[in-house]
Amino acid sequence: MDCDVLVHSSPIGTIYCLFEGKFLIDLSIKDAKGLQGTAHSLSPIACHFFQELDAYFKGDLKEFNQEIKFVSGTDFEREVWIALRDIPYGETRSYKWLAERVGSPMAVRAVGQALKKNLLPIILPCHRVIASDGSLGGFSCGVEIKRWLLRHEGLMI
């Protein structure tokens, strides 16, 4: 698999992206977390994605168009990740809501574990998932980044 690892600066820190052809397959904030690939000059696809990221951080983009590809995850995890796209910009949903959305209402903890493994945070907006009591819950990139993203989207968390 020939992949391109690219780095982009953002208001929440350095973002490391791994592309496989036209697909974004991994995104990490502040930490390259062992991403392996070959660093190349920006492809038109990566350039367009970084423009989308910049527009998101300016508040001009609410939904990403970048094509993604799952390279890991169980069927359940992938269902959870896909369901994240049903959470609108500037809104939150609970872990319980997400478990119900994927047809497993008792799998709240499993949903949380799936979110920990989300390789495409921001794009698949796991930061919009909070606890039923309104507390933030966790976030693989850190709770402070989760809080920043939610405030950026207009939520007073």
Active site residues: 126
Whole-number Å distance between alpha carbons of 9 and 37 = 19
Instruction: Indicate the DSSP class of residue 150.
Output: H
Q: Of 103, 99, 102, give the one whose Cα is nearest residue 132.
A: 99
- 51 Cβ partners below 8 Å, 6+ apart? none
Whole-number Å distance between alpha carbons of 61 and 59 = 6
Q: Return left, alpha or beta for 21; rule: phi > 0 is left, psi -120 to 50 is alpha, else beta.
A: left
Q: Is 93 helix (H, G, I), strand (E, B) or coil?
A: strand
